[in-house]
Chain A
């Protein structure tokens, strides 16, 4: 049974470039979360979806960040244009109702 799949695992890009992070949640999980982890700010919730609908995007840092979930098996987090301060590990996680979150292995982004 595959877990949450994130791609790419590592991304190095230059400032100003567009970055797209992808997530395939576990089948049947109706909640999907995007978190960002940095040394300074810890684990921050960026946005979460329920049944493909964005519920709370108050954690999205600014308009350069956008997230979509076109169907139950796929979500993207896009940063355009990217900046060095966006360097972080981005986690996708899913859950059913009030259960625990199942995390992907994360996408490590480095913006030069």
Chain B
């Protein structure tokens, strides 16, 4: 059981470039989510999904897209990177809706120059 995996661990982008952060889980969890963590700001929800084919916006969705074609995978796309998107990104998954214990991945540290 690998849990929640994220790739890459580190990434440097130039302003305007696009990229996809990958997230996968092998626990058959229905709920998956993406967060960004900035110093002093805590974790902020970007997008989430309650099952394959269903996605919705969190607190800070602008500049990010997601899709959920399978239960296992939940990629996060940055279409045109901006310096304000420099952050640490965490993916998480959770199982039963009444008891959403979230399992987090190890994070991706993204720098946009």
A and B from one complex: no
Interface residues of B (CB under 8 A from A): none
Interface residues of A (CB under 8 A from B): none
